[in-house]
Structure 1
C-alpha cells in the first residue's frame, strides 16, 4: 500500500487522493447536485479540493463556499488565477499581468470566504509577461498573508526551474495519466524536489478501452478508473490525483482508489502502456 498522505510545501498534510471541482454543476436545477457532491467529498475524507477562477468565472468557487463554509479545519481548497475571459476578437487567454493577478487573488478570497488561500496556483504562464513578474506577484501576495503556498500549472521543467529561482513552489498541476505521459520529466523533477504534482484529467477518456487497464481491474475486482488512479498513486509519492465528477456514484468510486494495492507486476504492465 502506498503512503496515503503528502505534505504540501513541507507543512500542510493532505490525503493524496483529492477532488477536482471543475465538473460540479453551478446553475439551475443541477446546482443542488453540485452542492451535494462537494459535501459528500468531504464526508468521504477528501481534504484537498481543486478549483479555479476559470471554472464558471468564479461560480465554482462560490458553489464550494456555499457547500462547505465554514470549512472543516483539515480541508485545503486550492484555486487558480491567471486566465481572462474571452473578449472582442479573442477567446480565453492567459493573463499574467500583476494587476490582473492581484485582482483575481482578492476575488478568490472573497468568493471562497477565506482570509488566506492555502494553495494558489498560476493557471497558465502568460508568454507576454515575464515569468518573474507573474511568480513575483504571487510571492508578494504570500508575503501579505493572502496565500500560504504557490503552485504552477501547465509548465515545463525549464519554467519550473525559473520559477523556483524566484520563490518556493509547492505544487505543479499538469495533464498526466496512465495513458498520457507528456510531462514525465516534470513528474520526475517534482519528485526529486519534493514538489506535489496534481495531475489533471487523471483518468484518460480512453481508459475503459485500454485492455491492460481492464485486465488489472478484473484481477483486483475494481473499476478501470480506480486502477488508473491507483497507478498514479503508485507512480510517485508526490502524486496528488484530483479526479473530478458531478456524480455521487463516480465520486464514491474514485474515493476508493487509494485502497487498491497494485503488485509490482501489475504496475509494470500498466507503466508500459504509454511511456515515451
Structure 2
C-alpha cells in the first residue's frame, strides 16, 4: 500500500481521559540503537540526528501519542533526551506517556520493584528529562502478580498533587486493573499483544473497551522474536492478506491490532523514516470480514 501523505488521523482517534489522540502512536524504545535492541549489551548506538529526525517526522505525520520511559537508555542514547531535543517546546496536542516501576542505575542494572518513594523519584526523573512540569500519562509497570495497591496509590497521590494528569497500568492482569480502578481512574492498559501473541488476553482486551479503558499493545508487530525486534517468519495466511492490499506483513499486523476495537491503540517504534511512514500508513488499511476471520484463526493458534 502507498505510504505517501497518509496522516495518523486515518486510524481514527481515542481519548485518554480528556486527551484526544490519533490511534497510531509511536514507541520511543527502538530509537536508541541501530538494530532496535535498546538493552542488549554491546548494541551499536543509533545516529542521534536521525533519531531526532524520525521524531519530528512522526509529529509531521500526525502522531500525537509518544510512549517512552526514563529507563529507555543505551550506552549513548536516552529516549527522553531525544524527545526533548526533537520536540520541545511541545505541540499543544502532543501526549507523552511514560512508565515507572522498574528502574535502571547509571550502569544499566535493573531495579525491578520500586518502592512508593522510589516511584516519586522516577516521576521526577521523567519530568526533568522531558523538561515538563507535569506528565500526561504515567503507566505503572508491573512485574509479577502481587498487589499493586500501595504503588498505584502513591502515583494517585502524585496525580492529586498535579505532577501527573492521567494514570495507566502496564503488564497487568484483569485483577490488577480492578485493583487500580478502585483507587483512581485508569485511562489505559499497556500489555503485550498481537497476532499470535497472548490470545488468552482477547477477553481482557474486550473488557477494557467496555470499561472505557484504552488497550495499548506493545511488541504487536514483532511476531515470534519480540524482544529482539525481529519478525521471524510470517505465516502464509498473513502474507496472502498483505499481498491483497499491497501491504507489508508489519502493516497487516498493525491493522489487525487496530481492528480489535476503537479503544485499541498502536505504538510501533522504529529508527527508520521509511518504516515510520509505513507504520503510520497502516492506520488507513481496512481489513475485510473474511480477512479478519483468517487472521483471527491464526491468532488463536498462537502463530
Partner of 2:132: 114
Greater alpha carbon shift after TM alignment, 264-273 vs 202-211: 202-211
Unaligned ranges ≥5, structure 1: none
Partner of 1:4: 12
Residues 36-51 of structure 1: pairs in structure 2 closer than 5 A: 36-51=53-68
Measure how far apart 1:92 and its partner are: 2.3
- CA–CA separation in structure 2 for the residues paired with 1:239 and 1:230: 11
Kindly tell me: are residues 148 and 29 of structure 1, through their superposed partners in 2, closer, same or farther at Cα, counting changes over 3 Å?
A: closer
Q: Is the 8 A contact 1:25 1:33 kept in 2?
A: no
1:75 to 87, 91, 94: 94
What SS class does the counterpart of residue 243 from structure 1 fall into?
coil
**Residue 245 (1) aligns with residue 270 (2):** yes
Partner of 1:32: 49
Deviations 1:196-225 (A, max 9, x none): 111001103356522111101111111111
Measure how far apart 1:192 and its partner are: 1.2
Q: Is the 8 A contact 1:101 1:137 kept in 2?
A: yes
Greater alpha carbon shift after TM alignment, 130-139 vs 119-128: 119-128
Partner of 2:181: 164
2:257 to 232, 240, 254: 232
Measure how far apart 1:85 and its partner are: 2.3
Aligned alpha-carbon RMSD (Å): 2.4
**Residue 220 (1) aligns with residue 256 (2):** no
Measure how far apart 1:178 and its partner are: 1.2
Name segments (4+ residues, structure 1) moved above 6 Å: none
Deviations 1:157-205 (A, max 9, x none): 1111111111111101000001212422321221110101110011033
Q: Is the 8 A contact 1:150 1:170 kept in 2?
A: yes
Partner of 2:196: 179
Q: Is the 8 A contact 2:32 2:78 kept in 1?
A: no
Partner of 2:234: 209
Unaligned ranges ≥5, structure 2: 1-8, 34-43, 225-230
What SS class does the counterpart of residue 47 from structure 2 fall into?
helix
Q: Is the 8 A contact 1:95 1:126 kept in 2?
A: no
Greater alpha carbon shift after TM alignment, 217-226 vs 78-87: 78-87
What SS class does the counterpart of residue 21 from structure 2 fall into?
strand
Kindly tell me: are residues 75 and 269 of structure 1, through their superposed partners in 2, closer, same or farther at Cα, counting changes over 3 Å?
A: same
What SS class does the counterpart of residue 274 from structure 1 fall into?
helix
Kindly tell me: are residues 126 and 135 of structure 1, through their superposed partners in 2, closer, same or farther at Cα, counting changes over 3 Å?
A: farther
Greater alpha carbon shift after TM alignment, 221-230 vs 206-215: 206-215
* TM-score calculated relative to the size of structure 1: 0.92
Kindly tell me: are residues 91 and 268 of structure 1, through their superposed partners in 2, closer, same or farther at Cα, counting changes over 3 Å?
A: same
Deviations 1:34-65 (A, max 9, x none): 11111111111100000012211892111100
